[in-house]
Amino acid sequence: MTVSPVPRPLPHHDGSPLHVSEDAPALGDVVRLRLRVPTTWDPLVSVTVRSNPDREPVWDEAVLLGEAGGWQWWEATVTVHNPRHGYRWLLRQHDGAVRWLNQAGLHAGEVRDVDDFVLLATPPAPSWLAESVMYQIFPDRFARSAAADGRPTPDWAIPAAWEDPVDPVMPARTQQLYGGDLDGVVEKLDHLADLGVDLLYLTPIFPAASNHRYDAASFDHVDPLLGGDDAYVRLVQAAHARGMRVIGDLTTNHSGERHEWFQTALADPESPERTYYYFTEDEENGRSVSAEDPGYEAWLGVPSLPKFDWSSQELRKRFIQGRDSVVARWLLPPFEADGWRIDVANMTGRLRDVDLNAQVRQIMRRTMEEIDPDTVLLAESTNDATEDLQGDAWHGAMTYPAFTRPLWSWLSEPTGEPWTTAQDEQVVEPWFFGQPLGGIPRATAAEFAEAVTRFTAGIPWRIRLGNMQPLNTHDTARFATHAADGAMPLALGLAMTLPGVPVLFAGDEFGLTGADGETSRTPMPWGAEADPPVAERLSLCRRLVRLRRGHQVLARGGMRWLHTDDDAVVFLRESASETLLVVATMGDRIWESSREAVPGLVAEEGLGTDDVSRVFGEAQLRLGADRVRVSAPARTFTVWRLPGVPVPGEAAVMSSADAQEKSRFRS
């Protein structure tokens, strides 16, 4: 194996407690910001924080606090002027060079405001969100209780036995019904507790005319096919008793055409419900209504999903505003759910020249804070979500380009096996998030890291910690379908160790596959747990979930890339209490770095290889007098626990979260 030197470390800052004294300040608060600069880096004349209050730059000089672990520490104080207070670092070197540091990295030239570090003077997410491991459940396909046998099949459904294969062709694609229900979920909570997950996300549970239920016929009660309202109460109570939380899925962009509001709107043009939707027909000009033009706006033109018009004040009151709204109802007793994930949140309130998205999400957030500030609000935004994720409402988002898509590009090896589309066509081109790219684009490990940085650079650190980080979801093919040999530990490991909320889609722990977003919704193969491949995958998931939940630094600690190349990424998660060194490689690799790249290794006098704890994986780490060497075989994911980051003298005034973490590890 070739020895690859790790580039020398660069100046670093992130939003973690090591660098920011308060991550949820109020307007007018003074916040201490700290920058780390390696002592081997080019000498500095000055360090300055450039903020941008009211869109006009302000400059705050930093002072040198001292050195620790081979790094200089600089500190500046800033006064939070706006709810979103952006800032960046300006470094002037002795040779006259100027460098700018923002969330996108270190730059020689001036940088954009959108990629600044950010202080948010808005209420933060509940602390439990960043500490969670999420598990997504598609209710029809998860588990079926005995009570399901006594429920009549609705008029729209095509009944299926649990062992039947998923039929991806329309109309079965949306109408095939397996009969999973909420009491079935309750019966499998011990499985989820054993897996270690603690946040359950259920796709819609309201009555509808499809197996996915994104075409709600009502928001006022739970689908009787799932057991009704009482079953939801039983599920939430049983989950809470096990230390788990439950969030629901709400469609604020559209309802189903069978929805009681829409039916009223169709029947009575003078009704308040008529204002809830965008009707386009006009009797005076004789405009005809047809399948191609149903007379109202619909999601992507699908007539069964009429789009809400959020200029309607009556809709706002009924759906999202105040204690009597739909949003509030399911957070209040007797249901007491723990939050919402909002379907196609990026499209909500947006139509051509209308953009009410910010108003809608902010009203929802205020309602939820009034009902229970310990609830979370997450957005589905499957593409670049930067514009919407600025701290005014969403605690995080399901956003594929910041993790999922680049991960697939690095760790997939398409099989070329044919699969069947909704139109009953056989294709061999792998599905890739609906993008017409001719399959799954290939990327190196370094390009994966670059994409993660690029798509998170404009998102405030606090919001990034709440972003959902799935390998796949109910809307995508399964990653395992095209995963390269040996890639699954790397993929799951990266989901658990990079900043964000790891997400398992039900069946990931069984090794389920699926060529697209329909065939990924396979009924859970209960009873297969002892099969050797399944047992191996279950063990991997349990160990990685345990790793995630056993180290607070993975929830709130800083993150710093150490090395990337064609086959591997190496990074650190850092706090004052501990550092985790993470290596993910598809090729045989040896890396060598100076010890200063990992400050705790410099600060701990006499620390040797035997004092370093490997907590996952097979790679080897060796400490020399001034070097660190990592040897990793191909297809390896490995994590070591190392000493925390030292901070000079009394300057180490940590936030309460980091102080509690340090106390916990000492105990």
Average pLDDT over residues 294-315: 97
Please give the average per-residue pLDDT across 319-326, as a whole number.
98
Asked whether the predicted pLDDT for residue 663 surpasses 70, the reply is no
* Buried residues in 350-369 as b, exposed as e (16+ CB within 10 A): beeeeebbeebbebbbebbe
Query: What is the average per-residue pLDDT within 179-186?
Result: 98
Residue 373 reports pLDDT greater than 90 = yes
Q: 566-584: per-residue pLDDT in tens? A: 999 999 999 999 999 999 9
Q: How far apart are CA 378 and CA 248, in angstroms?
A: 10
pLDDT at 649 > cutoff 80: no
How many other C-beta atoms are found inside a 10 Å radius of the C-beta of residue 329?
15
Q: Token digits for 8? A: 């020398």
Contact at 8 Å (CB) between 76 and 31?
Answer: no
What is the mean pLDDT of the segment spanning 204-224?
Answer: 98
**144 closest CA partner among 535, 525, 509:** 525
Q: Residue type at 165?
A: P
Q: CA-CA distances (angstroms) from residue 300 to 117, 215, 218, 297, 305?
A: 35, 13, 21, 9, 9
Per cent of the chain over pLDDT 70 is: 95
Examine the pLDDT at 528 and tell me if it is beyond 60.
yes
Give me the amino acid identity at 464: R
pTM score of the predicted model: 0.95
CA-based nearest residue to 425, from 48, 86, 168, 165:
168
Q: What is the pLDDT of residue 287?
A: 43
Q: Crossing angle, helix 404-411 and helix 488-497, to 10 degrees? A: 150
Instruction: Please report which confidence band the pLDDT of residue 605 belongs to, taking 50, 70 and 90 as the band edges.
Output: confident
Q: What does the pLDDT look like over 40-55, one tens digit per residue? A: 998 999 999 999 999 9
Cis ω for the linkage preceding 171 (within 30 of 0):
yes
Q: With contact defined as beta carbons under 8 Å apart, do 402 and 452 qualify?
A: yes
Poorest-pLDDT segment among 191-195, 283-287, 486-490, 609-613: 283-287
pLDDT band at residue 290 using 50, 70 and 90 as cut-offs = low
Residues 154-176: what's their mean pLDDT? 97
Residues of the chain above pLDDT 90, percent = 90
> What is the distance between the alpha carbons of residues 204 and 200, in angstroms, rounded to a whole number?
13
| Whether the predicted pLDDT of 667 surpasses 60 | no
pLDDT given for residue 656 in this prediction? 41
Give the long-range contacts of residues 618-622, CB within 8 A, separation 24 or more.
Answer: 619/583, 619/585, 621/581
Q: Which pLDDT score, from 0 to 100, does residue 291 have?
A: 56
Give me the pLDDT at residue 661, please. 44
Work out the mean pLDDT of the chain and round it to a whole number.
Answer: 94
| Calpha distance 611→207 (Å, rounded) | 57
Going by the DSSP 8-state scheme, the letter that residue 108 receives in this structure is: S
Give the range among 66-70, 110-114, 525-529, 605-609 with minimum mean pLDDT.
Answer: 605-609
Q: What is the mean pLDDT of residues 447-474?
A: 98
| Nearest alpha-carbon partner for 33 in 2, 71, 79 | 79
- What local confidence, expressed as pLDDT, does residue 289 receive? 53
pLDDT at residue 415 in the model: 86
Q: Decide if pLDDT at 4 tops 80.
A: no
Lowest-confidence range among 188-197, 233-242, 283-292?
Answer: 283-292
What residues contact 378, with CB distance under 8 A and at least 6 apart? Answer: 247, 339, 340, 341, 342, 394, 395, 396, 397, 398, 466, 468
Q: How many angstroms separate the Cα of 297 from the Cα of each of 209, 267, 451?
A: 19, 17, 35
Q: How would DSSP label each residue in 23-40?
A: SSPPTT-EEEEEEEEETT
Please tell me the number of Cα atoms within 13 Å of 457 on its side-chain side.
20
Note the pLDDT of residue 2. 66
What 235-239 contacts at long range (C-beta under 8 Å, 24+ apart), as own/partner pairs, is 235/182, 235/183, 235/185, 235/186, 236/335, 236/336, 236/337, 238/186, 238/189, 239/189, 239/200
| Phi/psi at 159 (5° precision) | -65, 145
Least confident of 4-8, 251-255, 293-297, 508-512: 4-8
Q: What 3 state SS string does 56-78 have?
A: CCEEEECEEEEEECCEEEEEEEE
**pLDDT over threshold 70, residue 655:** no
Note the helical H segments in 143-188. Answer: 172-175, 182-187
- Distance of CA 293 to CAs 253, 583, 639, Å? 19, 54, 56
pLDDT exceeds 60 at position 82: yes
Is the pLDDT at 101 greater than 60, yes or no?
yes
For 591-630, letters b (16+ CB in 10 Å) and e give bebbbbbbbbbbbbeebeeeebeeebbebebebeeeebeb
